[in-house]
Structure 1
């Protein structure tokens, strides 16, 4: 499923779409160059609309959501997953409440309640958190940062100087983070719920962006204000914002501000990583990539797609009781316009050096767990899938 963006003005159009606006109605036909039957479609709207309703040309209701991307209290965009090649009508209202649809995604950011011992019974839910330089909330946050999922996969982002993207694998399709809170108990595991499947440590995890000094990755140590915010909670996609305001990448350099949006839509494995910079980032190199899973095989097409398949413990040695070795497939695709060079694998990572264009960087991360009842069981299967997947997100 591919996402397309359209700006809602007097007349709407974009490559691969045909859209028109008349009063409070927008007509749009999602199209794709791939073979996807469903297309995630984002339409920007003006301020003041309270609700949106999407229907097909024959009157069938299509679930949708309104998102406030910039956090000013009013909706910026309508998002829906429509049928490619079929005309859809968006009806906006300033009076009617938004219809509620069955959730297909979920996100949570939580403080740890010290009065509750169970790791899957925490109850201090928050929407955002900002800390000052030198403050590390890693241990005060349950599962150490924001976690989000759809029915196939789940991710979390560490709230510390690493800002690592970590993953949670599932045995069966379904939303389950609200139940397990990333830490399933023995009873939940016996029922087939998923678990943490990757140990990331100090590595790049799955597509984490860090500074680069020409020799090694640089953690986000010197940041004036570090934030995480749940921008959108569904029902069709979740968006998590990570903001590093006043990041001094190397001592003596001019601070920059980096705002990263992680977007996960229903029915997709991959997460879109969209990064905007403020300040002088145009000539600066950064590094991203994927962890070198123990004894993993590697795949690369030399054009921005890199992947691995391997098996290792998902936790540190001291926490390994109750866990088993986990087999995972990881993948990252970075459009070639951002790629400076692909570095050889080292003991920790499969690194890729990148440079923003116009203070912007966008790439895609994805993974699978061999535990999945519907998924991939070998590196050959996984790599074949990724070659086709890349075509859908270009």
Structure 2
């Protein structure tokens, strides 16, 4: 985790006067117009939004937050570095994919996906629902972009709390930062992790968890081996266990949690195997 902090500072310094290789997207279906903020008292605009919620991207991946109770983070994988959301959206055509564009190869289902945030009440997982209001925001800055979801009025352990989840991507950096903030009178326990499917390889290190293999997704033109990793501070977690569909990570009582996530695919030039992904993640521990 110390390495990530140093890399962020270096990348930010290098990109102050460079090109911002990040982007944002938040649009209602059929509007053709980008928004900076969208809110709903029901907390569910999943079917009304392009890519089902806010999205961000850097050169290597796109990420989206589902605008509903799940709080899941989904991944758009790319074969080559570049920005694609503005031109191709989350679902490029078959022709575009055959020309080397990325696609939605990652399958989240009912899980947290890659680093999504829920709550733990001491006995079970709680979705970020019901709410009195859910608000999605996106912002593009000099060398980074972020999306965030504020869920207000969530019942939790006899209290009513607000939870903000923010996902930030950086120019020149493969990792995205996931932050969870609890606005509450007492600390809470967050629940996060990384999902996997039957037949996939998985590995848990001291401060990372990664997966590699085929996701049973049917919206892409083909299926590729996809890698996913979450990097964390072990001292932040009360328990980490491999569940039937995802690694289940329960934080210690807190009002703030930070993890880092990354993803890759077999057609990339660099992180195109489980071995390459593991080595990359282990380098952060040194």
Gaps of 5+ in 2: none
1:150 shift after superposition: 1.0
Query: Counterpart of 1:310 in 2: which secondary structure?
Result: strand
Instruction: Say which of 213, 218, 224 aligns to 1:310.
Output: 213
Partner residue, 1:274: 179
Higher helix share: 2
Gaps of 5+ in 1: 5-31, 43-61, 65-79, 81-100, 114-121
Query: Counterpart of 1:299 in 2: which secondary structure?
Result: strand
The structure showing larger relative contact order (alpha-carbon pairs under 8 Å, at least 6 residues apart) is 2
- CA distance in structure 1 between the aligned counterparts of 2:227 and 2:21, rounded to whole angstroms: 23
- CA distance in structure 2 between the aligned counterparts of 1:308 and 1:356, rounded to whole angstroms: 27
Matched, 1:102 2:19: yes
Matched, 1:366 2:273: no
- CA distance in structure 2 between the aligned counterparts of 1:262 and 1:254, rounded to whole angstroms: 26
Instruction: Say which of 275, 279, 282 aligns to 1:380.
Output: 275
Partner residue, 1:165: 73
Structure 1 consecutive aligned stretches of length 4 or more whose deviation exceeds 3 Å: 1-4, 213-216
Q: 1:390 to 1:238 in 2, by over 3 A?
A: farther
Partner residue, 2:190: 286
- CA distance in structure 2 between the aligned counterparts of 1:299 and 1:205, rounded to whole angstroms: 16
Tell me which structure has the larger Cα radius of gyration: 1
1:217 shift after superposition: 2.4
Contact 2:270 2:276 in 1 (8 A): no
Contact 2:11 2:171 in 1 (8 A): no
Contact 1:149 1:177 in 2 (8 A): yes
- CA distance in structure 2 between the aligned counterparts of 1:143 and 1:39, rounded to whole angstroms: 32
1:308 shift after superposition: 1.4
Partner residue, 2:10: 39
1:304 shift after superposition: 3.3
- CA distance in structure 2 between the aligned counterparts of 1:281 and 1:375, rounded to whole angstroms: 44
- CA distance in structure 2 between the aligned counterparts of 1:378 and 1:297, rounded to whole angstroms: 11
Instruction: Say which of 125, 139, 151 aligns to 1:244.
Output: 151
Partner residue, 1:175: 83
Partner residue, 1:211: 119
Higher strand share: 1
- CA distance in structure 2 between the aligned counterparts of 1:353 and 1:335, rounded to whole angstroms: 12
* CA RMSD in angstroms, aligned pairs only: 2.3
- CA distance in structure 1 between the aligned counterparts of 2:221 and 2:125, rounded to whole angstroms: 30
Deviates more, 1:273-282 or 1:378-387: 273-282
1:326 shift after superposition: 2.6
Q: 1:248 to 1:192 in 2, by over 3 A?
A: same
Aligned length: 285
Instruction: Say which of 32, 37, 44 aligns to 1:123.
Output: 32
1:196 shift after superposition: 0.5
TM-score, length-normalised on structure 2? 0.91
Q: 1:226 to 1:37 in 2, by over 3 A?
A: closer
- CA distance in structure 2 between the aligned counterparts of 1:291 and 1:37, rounded to whole angstroms: 26
Partner residue, 1:259: 164
Q: Deviations over 1:289-346 (max 9, x none)?
A: 0002331222112x3321111212224xxxx5x6322311111122123110111x22
